[in-house]
Structure 1
Amino acid sequence: PRQATHSLCPSTSLKICSEICTFEAPDGRRGRLLASSSAGALLRWRFWQFGEWVDVVIDDRLPTRDGKLLFVHSAEGSEFWSALLEKAYAKLNGSYEALTGGRATEGFEDFTGGIAESYELSKASPHLFKLMQKALTLRSLMACSISVKTKTSLKLVKRHAYSVTGAKEVHSYGCLVQLVRIRNPWGRVEWIGPWSDNSKEWNSVQPEEKAKLVYSAEDGEFWMAYSDFIQQFSRLDICNQTPDALSSATVSRWNYSQFEGDWRVGSTAGGCKKNEATFCSNPQFVIKLEEEDDDPYDGEDGCTILVGLMQKEFRKDKRIGRDPNAIGFTIYRVTGYVQSVILLVLEAPLPSTPQTTSQPALKGCNNINLGPDVLLRQQYTARSNPFTYKREVIERFKLPPGEYAIIPSTYEPHCNGSFILRVFTEKEAAARLSSVFIFQLKKT
């Protein structure tokens, strides 16, 4: 599209990654993310909303002024899919106005059902390039943008979303150079700095290596050095896809677990850890990580885990003037603990020994719920930081194999709300909701 509201810039990545546009929803229905029409010029679109795929039906009438489309439009005068997508998305959220001020990551998730991370490139990790390569292998969608405050030239556009479509290393004068391939959705206006189309840097690359890279087409797509990328661009968004969004059986993919839950005043709205009297009443979810990553991008052994906590009805609540909750989560490791006192009666306690006093082992038990002796006195393993009023908080961690309890909460106690908790792992992981309350836990 030539122009787009900020929420809709992921549509440019979807146009590139056509495999994502055809998917099988978790309930077995198949559909196309790009509109499928029926009699009467009606069009059906499917969006992901808080764990479910929702159908939205619209007609083909679009808002115009003086014969021109008011909002999203394509450079091609006869192409209308992006404007129709925007209309369906506006209907889903209640109005066009509700799309104002959105984030690219929200559109990514609503269009694909994936989980989206954001990185400030001014604080780029030394391993970010390897992470980008791994994300592309996993068929993740990526977008980058430039803030208003960033100084730039060489035909890069501020406040504009670009798609990231490749990350490769090439040999140049005997050294490996990291390159990033970027696409301007306008289909024109390209970077003219080092490693741009037909720049002198390509003369240092062997013909057979150069032939593997498309580098001289006037199509809005261009290469640039990774070192220039993190200096010129401000932000990188990566949307990791759920297994059901990928049709190819040969691609690498994430493993995925999803839970729904509620914070309810008087029962499960415990607030953050500083609220010692109520924190333990928050919902708890257990994830068991058994296998380490095969090829860690950062060279560190462990299990990569992505945790996303999303509060429901975020845009609709904002539209009616209701303030969202400040949300976050805390992770505790529970492997290696045993139970010494429980509130519920166990069917068959272990025989007593001098070392144990009727203490069934925690490992292997279902429906485990950690009590105050662990949650208030033990150090947490990881947490989201800080609490946020945004629709979703997402964090990536590298944890050793083991069993972990994830505790989503609001910052303040006694706040009603509903949420979706999503967990992505590189290896298969067992996940469950905890329901049996355990307290006074001790390490074995």
Structure 2
Amino acid sequence: MTYERLNERRRDESTYLQRKWSPFLDQNFLQSSAKSYQLYRRTMRENVRRMEPCMTDPEFPENDSSLYYSEKPYRFLTNLQWMRPNEISPNAKVRVDGATTQDIIQGELGDCWFLASLAALAKRQSFLNHVLPLGQDANSPAAAMGYYYVRFWTFGEWTAVIINDMLPTRNGRLVFGQCLDRNEFWVALIEKAFARLYGSYEAIDGGFTLESMEDLTGGLSVQYDLGDDAHPDLFSRMTKAYKNNTLMTCTYRGTKDKRGLISLHAYSVTGAFRIHFRGSIIRLVKIRNPYGDEEWTGDWSDSSELWAEVSLAEKRKIGYRKKNEGVFWMSFEDFKSYFGSIKFCTVGAVSAPGRTWKDRWRVTQTKGFWQRNVGSHRREARDFAFNPQYLLTLLQPDDYDRERDDWSQEGKCDLSFGLMQQDKRHFRSEGRENLYMAIDVYQIDGKPPSKLGPEFFRDRSALVFSSGKYINRREVTLTASLSPGNYVIVPSRFYNKNGGRFLIRIFSENLIEFNQL
């Protein structure tokens, strides 16, 4: 079987499975993993004897076209050799004693935005095993022949990416993402699959952790600003997110007083804790640098004398250890001061053998299309009415806990909205850019039988929530606390000369009704 036929069959068979086993349509996460992966394993078992070891992938060959698309050699990535893991290390394994956050080391590629999310994912093994399924080791016929199956979430569906295990090296060492243990290769394999998904390694150089967290989980990412504008309940949200296994990342804004931090660099947030210190309670944040070294050197760093005043029991409770592995601690106040933003990725309910995580989110999603030269931005009510419109009905308020929830949440529904356009990263080499877009929520009485007209949108009093300014990100998000009732959701873009597909997702605690008008 040729490489082209293998991927063709994978695409044809997985299309049906992705629809049927979509992880956010109230299906079991393990089922969505197992069904498509079983197809791959059966296909490989049936054909592996007729396949050559580590065949060249025509869509991602072992040459410069898979490294970069620029006219000039990208970052002087020349004279590289493509090698298999067993050529790099005689004891090569996909995982050595499992996969952990501390395994990940960034190489010469500027994909910290992806590796920081991968490090956060490593704390949630059921998700990591969904991206890179277990059973792909030396005992697997496919892996022994040099083939691996990796999965990413793309525009509302899980997409399987099959790769060979030829990896770019220099002098026998990996040049891009890698594991701290030279015998371990799960990081390099996932990174290669991600590069293949988008066409080249250069295509994944630079990006947003908001996006990579979604690509690895299918969740919805929301960003909160830090500094003086930080939300007053942010630390409580961080502790709750940590307990619910929500992924978190942050970006260092860059100041003159760096204290070991790297400007414009993405980090993983791996915990938020309260500890007893000098007779009071202090809030600490646990952070990891994807480089695997270069840690914070201020208060609560590994070398800080403040740790001497913390009891051994407190240290054990929060998992503190003094070791140069890229993991460090900061006070919450320093964290807000030095970092510019924090990103949360909520991923819904997940099941795995022997263990269950469950948070409270249900997910409703639908795809739509903007026609060229039809519709407009919200300032033009006449044309704005020609945008797609959706009726949202909230049937009942969220559960309310007087001890846990703020009084203002009683009788309300907490929702998160995401409006996503098709990713232009695939077309980086062609210079394509994202559309400027926004999403708005209008409250209405009753259920209209058809789309609302311009008269409704001229009166802006019905607008209850908006994502704000039109921005050219892959996805814009909006969090809102709404009363039960009826609402109209309008996705729009600022310039209508270009059409395009979009995806709307709504995360809610309870079931909702959502239909296009």
TM-score above 0.5: yes
Trace 1:265-344 onto structure 2 (pairs within 5 A).
Answer: 265=372, 269-289=374-394, 290-292=396-398, 294=400, 300-301=408-409, 302-334=412-444, 337=445
Trace 1:165-176 onto structure 2 (pairs within 5 A).
Answer: 165-176=270-281
Deviates more, 1:394-403 or 1:49-58: 394-403
Q: Is the 2:377–2:494 Cα contact (8 Å) retained in structure 1? A: yes
Q: What residue in structure 1 maps to residue 515 of structure 2?
A: 433
Q: 1:249 to 1:65 in 2, by over 3 A?
A: closer
Q: 1:211 to 1:198 in 2, by over 3 A?
A: farther
Q: What residue in structure 2 maps to residue 347 of structure 1?
A: none
Q: Is the 2:297–2:303 Cα contact (8 Å) retained in structure 1? A: no
RMSD: 2.8
Q: Aligned partners of 1:369, 1:264: CA distance in 2, in Å?
A: 16
| Structure holding more strand per residue | 1
Q: What residue in structure 2 maps to residue 22 of structure 1?
A: 129
Q: Aligned partners of 1:143, 1:225: CA distance in 2, in Å?
A: 16
State the SS of the aligned residue for 2:408. coil
Q: What residue in structure 2 maps to residue 356 of structure 1?
A: none
Q: 1:250 to 1:143 in 2, by over 3 A?
A: closer
Unaligned runs of 5+ in 1: 24-29, 338-361, 436-444
Q: Aligned partners of 1:159, 1:112: CA distance in 2, in Å?
A: 24
**Alpha-carbon deviation of 1:57?**
0.5
Q: Aligned partners of 2:238, 2:419: CA distance in 1, in Å?
A: 23
Q: What residue in structure 2 maps to residue 392 of structure 1?
A: 475
Q: Counterpart amino acid of 1:54?
A: T
State the SS of the aligned residue for 1:11. helix
Deviations 1:347-404 (A, max 9, x none): xxxxxxxxxxxxxxx2xx5866333332222421111121111211112222333322
Deviates more, 1:245-254 or 1:271-280: 245-254
Q: Counterpart amino acid of 2:188?
A: A
**Alpha-carbon deviation of 1:161?**
2.8
**Alpha-carbon deviation of 1:175?**
2.4
**Alpha-carbon deviation of 1:158?**
3.2
State the SS of the aligned residue for 2:120. helix
Does residue 264 (structure 1) correspond to residue 371 (structure 2)? The answer is yes
Q: 1:310 to 1:284 in 2, by over 3 A?
A: same
Q: Aligned partners of 1:261, 1:71: CA distance in 2, in Å?
A: 37
Q: Counterpart amino acid of 2:209?
A: A
Deviations 1:3-31 (A, max 9, x none): 151342211222232232234xxxxxx97
Does residue 402 (structure 1) correspond to residue 485 (structure 2)? The answer is yes
Q: Aligned partners of 2:136, 2:343: CA distance in 1, in Å?
A: 25
With the length of structure 1 as denominator, give the TM-score of the two structures: 0.81
Q: Aligned partners of 1:311, 1:57: CA distance in 2, in Å?
A: 25
Q: Aligned partners of 2:345, 2:135: CA distance in 1, in Å?
A: 18
Q: Is the 2:349–2:359 Cα contact (8 Å) retained in structure 1? A: no
Deviates more, 1:85-94 or 1:113-122: 113-122
State the SS of the aligned residue for 1:278. helix
Q: Aligned partners of 2:188, 2:312: CA distance in 1, in Å?
A: 42
Q: Is the 1:284–1:434 Cα contact (8 Å) retained in structure 2? A: yes
Trace 1:12-161 onto structure 2 (pairs within 5 A).
Answer: 12-23=119-130, 32=133, 38-39=141-142, 40-122=145-227, 123-147=229-253, 149-161=254-266
Q: What residue in structure 2 maps to residue 343 of structure 1?
A: none
**Alpha-carbon deviation of 1:244?**
4.7
Q: 1:245 to 1:145 in 2, by over 3 A?
A: farther
Deviations 1:322-366 (A, max 9, x none): 3332111111012xx2xxxxxxxxxxxxxxxxxxxxxxxx2xx58
Q: Aligned partners of 2:170, 2:485: CA distance in 1, in Å?
A: 59
Q: Is the 1:288–1:429 Cα contact (8 Å) retained in structure 2? A: no
Q: Aligned partners of 2:332, 2:478: CA distance in 1, in Å?
A: 24
Q: Is the 2:120–2:268 Cα contact (8 Å) retained in structure 1? A: yes
Q: Percent identity?
A: 35
Q: Aligned partners of 1:161, 1:405: CA distance in 2, in Å?
A: 36
Q: 1:207 to 1:72 in 2, by over 3 A?
A: closer
State the SS of the aligned residue for 1:274. coil
Q: Aligned partners of 2:505, 2:135: CA distance in 1, in Å?
A: 25
**Alpha-carbon deviation of 1:155?**
3.0
Q: What residue in structure 1 maps to residue 348 of structure 2?
A: 242
State the SS of the aligned residue for 1:13. helix
Deviates more, 1:71-80 or 1:221-230: 71-80
**Alpha-carbon deviation of 1:166?**
1.4
Q: 1:38 to 1:160 in 2, by over 3 A?
A: farther
Does residue 375 (structure 1) correspond to residue 457 (structure 2)? The answer is yes
Q: Counterpart amino acid of 2:236?
A: K
Deviates more, 1:121-130 or 1:149-158: 149-158
Q: Aligned partners of 1:284, 1:229: CA distance in 2, in Å?
A: 41
Q: 1:213 to 1:151 in 2, by over 3 A?
A: same
Q: 1:376 to 1:162 in 2, by over 3 A?
A: same
State the SS of the aligned residue for 1:54. strand
Q: Counterpart amino acid of 2:503?
A: I
Q: 1:401 to 1:168 in 2, by over 3 A?
A: farther
Structure with higher RCO (Cα < 8 A, 6+ apart): 1
Deviations 1:262-295 (A, max 9, x none): 11237xx312122222211211223333213535
Q: Is the 2:385–2:452 Cα contact (8 Å) retained in structure 1? A: yes
Q: Aligned partners of 1:231, 1:392: CA distance in 2, in Å?
A: 27
Q: Is the 1:367–1:432 Cα contact (8 Å) retained in structure 2? A: no
**Alpha-carbon deviation of 1:299?**
5.6
Q: Counterpart amino acid of 1:221?
A: V
Deviations 1:221-260 (A, max 9, x none): 3332101111122232211113357775453231211111
Q: 1:116 to 1:90 in 2, by over 3 A?
A: same
State the SS of the aligned residue for 2:335. helix
